[in-house]
Amino acid sequence: MNMHSPETMVQPPTPPRDLSEMRLPMVMMRDILIKTMFRKSLTALSDLAEALCVPQHITQELLDIARQNRLVEATGSLNASAGGMPGFQLSEAGKARALDALAQSEYYGAMPVPLDVYREQVARQSIRNIQITREDLTRAMGDLVLPPSLLSNLGPAVSSGRSILMYGPPGNGKSSISNGIRDALGDRIYVPRAVEYAGQVITVYDPVVHCAAETERDDPGSLRRKRGFDTRYVRCQRPTVITGGELSLDMLDLVYNPTARTYQAPLQFKSMGGIFIVDDLGRQAEPPQTLVNRWIVPLEESKDILALQSGEKFEVPFDTLVIFSTNFHPNEIFDQAALRRIFYKIRIDGPDQQDFLKILALVARKKGITLNEDALVHLLHEKYPQIDNVYANYQPVFLIDQMIAICNFEGIPHQMTPDLIDRAWDNMFVREGAVVR
């Protein structure tokens, strides 16, 4: 395994040199070409190459095959916008074939990447190949005030690329820490627009999940692309999928669109090479034990099993850092067999008084409020003893935002006073006692 830091470049997928290196069925490639011409009304070679995300010389080979099949014909005119190159159009037979092909699958555009080819790229950019340092993790956590012992536990867990369970009382930054872990993995990987298995197309790239790093274009006058990687992939930041109480088991299966007759990759496949965060574990409809049982094979064997509509099952890579975050104690929601399969169990507690004051000072400075000694003494000696001096990371932001809102309502400068502390405190907790109906 070749370990690298987040600053190291991931080896990109190389563009195919000819049709044989596409490793796709010839009829599938030809049909995607004519469906793309039909749906997007494209006639220029350069435009078709860009839409198909393959080099122009390969696009030309496909056009030649389609012309031999009498599905495409040259227009006989030169396209000025494409460097004076000839244009192409579908013949009547080509239009009929395009409609037939669309009836079988509405997919058109970028040529898919064969699943076996994608496996090779997954190995090159594996999340388990990253080695982060304490400095990387500290920097990524930004303004979070965390004890050094917590970073000491998080660092090895993240570098391993294995599963992590973060547990502890609510409001102490488990979600923020998960986002910081994501930011620590600062390199770029290559996400396929779609993959192909057994003649079926599975779309993968999702702008909602994936953040593209940049866009490149070909020189229209060049028969060979100038790009440094296979643009059937999109160069992206390592993806992060965050789910909460809405997560259900069927969201981890292939999604079949019966109208388009194509598949969409499930959430864990879209997060390949990145992070899958299951927040608020224990709030889902399915019991936590059931959810973790679904992950047992992927977590232990780095592979997942998906199924087509036909019932055929097939194996896909599983290269994802899974982070479970819960407010429940693990022994309440898991049996010991399930806990054994989660490699790192890290408790996230609230801050002590010293760290609480550090967070309060940071928030006050950001919000433009001056700390007031009388107000702080009142807060620490009068209010917190009411809750047994249990501090939480969310409380400084909550209290200061409440005081700002009160000041705005009263039309007074933003400030901190014992009275404002009392009014803000009252909104932080629900009062005990029965509600009169």
Task: For 4-48, write each residue's pLDDT tens digit.
Answer: 666 567 899 999 999 999 999 999 999 999 999 999 999 999 999
Number of other residues whose CB lies within 10 A of the CB of residue 31? 22
CA distance 95 to 198: 25
CA distance 124 to 268: 18
β-bridge mates for residue 233, sequence order: 192
CA distance 416 to 375: 6
What three-state secondary structure class fits 148?
A: helix
pLDDT for the residue numbered 83? 54
pLDDT for the residue numbered 337? 82
**Residues 6 or more apart in contact with residue 429 via CB below 8 angstroms:** 387
For 1, 38, 354, 372, 415, the CA distances from 418, given in Å and listed in that order, are: 58, 71, 20, 9, 10
CA distance 102 to 401: 55
The two beta strands, 194-197 and 113-114, are parallel
pLDDT for the residue numbered 174? 79
Digit-coded pLDDT (tens) for 108-131: 999 999 999 999 999 999 998 888
pLDDT for the residue numbered 297? 85
Burial class (CB in 10 A: 0-12, 13-18, 19+), 398: middle
For 254, 353, 357, 366, the CA distances from 396, given in Å and listed in that order, are: 43, 12, 8, 12
Q: Please, what are the averages of pLDDT over each run of 10 residues along the chain (437 residues)?
A: 63 93 96 97 94 96 95 74 73 96 95 97 92 88 82 88 87 80 85 96 95 61 60 93 90 93 95 91 89 86 94 95 90 86 88 92 94 96 94 93 96 96 90 59
> Hunting for tokens 């009829």 — which residue is that?
27
pLDDT for the residue numbered 233? 97
The two beta strands, 255-257 and 194-197, are unpaired
**Of the candidates 358, 378, 368, the residue with the CA atom closest to the CA atom of residue 420:** 378
> Can you point out the beta strands (E) in 282-343?
303-307, 313-317, 321-326
Asked if 249 and 294 touch (Cβ cutoff 8 Å), the reply is yes
pLDDT for the residue numbered 17? 93
